[in-house]
């Protein structure tokens, strides 16, 4: 156990923090940093946009004077031109497309480290990896690459973007240590990026009870409450509507479920580029009435989506961790995972199917909705699994990695 009294200063490179997040990355960064601050680690956290996050446990630094909304849209894959070229805004505050944004972040980070002393550089996700490598070159300080997902995960069943692969490969080779959010991700990094396994540490995400207060009455969903009163059951997914999340398979399974049990509703919470495709497919399958798309939610409406569910389904093609599964258990809804979810390493008492096996998925869903005993056992035992999963443990492990890395010192590249 390495417990050092030496205070360390970490330069964190991130892409988003709540409430300006589009997914789990921002949430994980936020709670990890909060716990690390409690562990007396000083953090400067660089984000690519300018917003007030209301954070007092670290210093949030803005790399570009542009709102998160514009940054996100300009960085998007599909309609970014509208935001980078057609928007009637000042040339000074143009965020540029995703590549330009990364270049901005890198330039800003280089500038920042020449004026501020840091002991360790901690980069989250490929978007910040170039900035992390540059900062390491300039300062000679250790670089920790924190992998929440790789391009292999994000691209679903396709190969992904070769440029992104290259950025990941370079940074993972240069990094002094790598943090993977699950064993699944560690194995993938070792296999596909040729990184020695000894360099990779698994640190599972945590769960902060304070972030979750189930109201129990799911007040945001009066309509669903009424339907449940009429004997309907609700299956929930919370996540971005992207290929990686496997929602296409959930729809195929939903059709099988509805055929056996028409009183089943599927609540899909989130936004994303395959939304229109999913809507079209649910109509083709003749189950459009049973599928409810809420769009992106946060706050009470987000939280209550878990609570209203009878079952949470995470059908991801690839899910390095899957924080929402923990949140669901904490909010009182048992979980069905695809076998390719890292969170299964900690939440053992969950149903597991192959994402492509839509019959098995439908079969499991039907049984949970029909058998209170199964629902009960999954919930009680699942909650037991996650009871000890505090962010403080994750922060403790990060601090250990900082200290060993600082002692060994990064080799200059």
Partner 1 sequence: MRAICLYMHVHQPFRVRPYTIFDASEDHDYFSNPESQADNHQIMRKVAEKSYLPTNAALMELIKRHPQFKLSLSLSGTVLEQMQLWAPEALESFKELVATGRVEIVAETYHHSLAFFYDREEFERQVKLHAKTILHHFGVKPRVFRNTELSYNNELAHWADKAGYKAIITEGWEPVLGWRSPNYVYRPAFTKQIRLLMKNYQLSDDVAFRFSNRAWSGWPLTAEKYVGWLNDLDADQTNVNLFMDYETFGEHQWAETGIYDFLKHMTDLFLSSKGNTFMTLSEAAKKIKPSDYIDVPQTITWADTERDLSAWVGNSMQRQAINSMYQLSDEVLATRDAGLIEDWRRLQASDHFYYMCTKWFNDGDIHAYFSPYSSPYDAFIYFMNALRDVKYRVAASQGKL
Task: Identify residues 197-256 at the interface with partner 1 (CB under 8 A).
Answer: 256
Is 100 an interacting residue with respect to partner 1 (CB under 8 A)? no
Is 362 an interacting residue with respect to partner 1 (CB under 8 A)? yes
332 Ramachandran zone, left/alpha/beta (phi>0; psi -120 to 50)? left
CB of 263 vs partner 1, minimal distance in Å:
15
CB of 358 vs partner 1, minimal distance in Å:
11
Is 279 an interacting residue with respect to partner 1 (CB under 8 A)? no
Is 381 an interacting residue with respect to partner 1 (CB under 8 A)? yes
Rg (CA), the chain: 22
CB of 373 vs partner 1, minimal distance in Å:
4
44/259 with CB nearer partner 1: 259
Applying CB under 8 A, the span of 51-59, 129-137, 140-148, 367-375 interacting with partner 1 comes to: 367-375
Is 404 an interacting residue with respect to partner 1 (CB under 8 A)? no
CB of 396 vs partner 1, minimal distance in Å:
24
Question: How far from 293 is each of 232, 240, 284, 335, 395, CA to CA, in Å?
Answer: 17, 12, 16, 20, 35
206/382 with CB nearer partner 1: 382
CB of 252 vs partner 1, minimal distance in Å:
13
84/358 with CB nearer partner 1: 358
CB of 337 vs partner 1, minimal distance in Å:
11
Q: Tokens representing 156? A: 């679903």
SS3 217: coil
Q: Which residue has the tokens 């048992």?
A: 334
Is 263 an interacting residue with respect to partner 1 (CB under 8 A)? no
272 Ramachandran zone, left/alpha/beta (phi>0; psi -120 to 50)? left
55/374 with CB nearer partner 1: 374
Considering only 367, 387, 411, 413, the residue that binds partner 1 (CB under 8 A) is 367
161/183 with CB nearer partner 1: 183
Is 294 an interacting residue with respect to partner 1 (CB under 8 A)? no
145/336 with CB nearer partner 1: 336
CB of 141 vs partner 1, minimal distance in Å:
43
Question: Do 142 and 405 form a contact (C-beta atoms < 8 A)?
Answer: yes
82/260 with CB nearer partner 1: 260
CB of 286 vs partner 1, minimal distance in Å:
18
> Residue 363, Cα to own-chain centre: how many angstroms?
28
Measured between alpha carbons, how far is 204 from 184 in angstroms, rounded to an integer?
Answer: 11
Task: Identify residues 330-359 at the interface with partner 1 (CB under 8 A).
Answer: 348-349, 351-352, 359
Nearest to 44 by CA among 91, 1, 10: 10
CB of 278 vs partner 1, minimal distance in Å:
23
Measured between alpha carbons, how far is 349 from 5 in angstroms, rounded to an integer?
Answer: 39
SS3 333: coil
Question: How far from 189 is each of 92, 173, 198, 206, CA to CA, in Å?
Answer: 38, 11, 12, 21
Is 284 an interacting residue with respect to partner 1 (CB under 8 A)? no
Q: Tokens representing 349? A: 């008492």
- Element (DSSP H or E) covering residue 129: helix 129-139
Measured between alpha carbons, how far is 308 from 219 in angstroms, rounded to an integer?
Answer: 9
Is 260 an interacting residue with respect to partner 1 (CB under 8 A)? yes
Is 387 an interacting residue with respect to partner 1 (CB under 8 A)? no
CB of 305 vs partner 1, minimal distance in Å:
23
Residue 32: CB atoms within 10 Å: 24
Measured between alpha carbons, how far is 105 from 94 in angstroms, rounded to an integer?
Answer: 13
Is 373 an interacting residue with respect to partner 1 (CB under 8 A)? yes
Measured between alpha carbons, how far is 377 from 350 in angstroms, rounded to an integer?
Answer: 10
Binding site for partner 1 (CB under 8 A): 256, 260, 348-349, 351-352, 359-360, 362-364, 366-367, 371-374, 376-378, 381
């Amino acid at each position: 156990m390495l417990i050092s009294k030496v205070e360390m200063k970490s330069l964190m490179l991130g892409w988003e923090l709540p409430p300006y997040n589009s997914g789990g990355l921002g949430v994980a960064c936020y709670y990890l940093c909060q716990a690390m601050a409690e562990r007396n680690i000083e953090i400067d956290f660089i984000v690519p946009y300018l917003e007030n996050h209301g954070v007092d446990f670290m210093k949030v630094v803005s790399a570009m004077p542009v709102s998160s909304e514009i940054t996100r849209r300009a960085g998007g894959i599909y309609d970014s031109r509208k935001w980078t070229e057609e928007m009637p805004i000042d040339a000074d505050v143009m965020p540029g497309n995703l590549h330009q944004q990364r270049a901005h972040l890198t330039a800003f980070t280089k500038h920042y480290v020449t004026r501020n002393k840091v002991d360790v550089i901690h980069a989250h996700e490929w978007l910040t990896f170039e900035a992390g490598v540059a900062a390491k070159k300039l300062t000679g300080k250790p670089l920790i690459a924190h992998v929440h997902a790789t391009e292999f995960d994000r691209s679903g069943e396709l190969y992904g973007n070769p440029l992104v692969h290259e950025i990941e490969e370079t940074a993972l080779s240069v990094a002094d240590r790598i943090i993977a959010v699950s064993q699944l991700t560690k194995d993938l990094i070792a296999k596909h990026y040729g990184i020695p396994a000894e360099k990779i540490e698994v640190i599972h995400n945590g769960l902060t009870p304070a972030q979750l207060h189930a109201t129990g009455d799911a007040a945001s969903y009066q309509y669903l409450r009424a339907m449940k009163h009429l004997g309907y059951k609700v299956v929930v997914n919370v996540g971005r509507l992207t290929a990686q999340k496997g929602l296409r398979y959930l729809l195929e399974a939903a059709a099988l479920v509805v055929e056996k049990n028409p009183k089943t509703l599927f609540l899909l919470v989130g936004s994303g580029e395959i939304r229109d495709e999913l809507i079209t497919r649910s109509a083709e399958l003749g189950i459009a009435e049973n599928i409810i798309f809420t769009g992106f939610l946060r706050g009470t409406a987000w939280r209550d989506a878990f609570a209203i569910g009878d079952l949470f389904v995470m059908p991801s093609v690839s899910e390095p961790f899957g924080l929402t599964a923990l949140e669901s258990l904490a909010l009182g809804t048992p979980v069905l995972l695809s076998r390719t979810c890292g969170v299964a390493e900690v939440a053992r008492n969950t149903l597991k199917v192959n994402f492509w096996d839509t019959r098995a998925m439908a079969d499991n869903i039907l049984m949970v909705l029909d058998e209170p005993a199964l629902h009960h056992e999954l919930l009680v035992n699942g909650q037991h699994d996650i009871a000890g999963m505090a962010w403080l443990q994750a922060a403790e492990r990060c601090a250990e990695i900082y200290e060993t890395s600082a002692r060994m010192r990064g080799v200059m590249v």
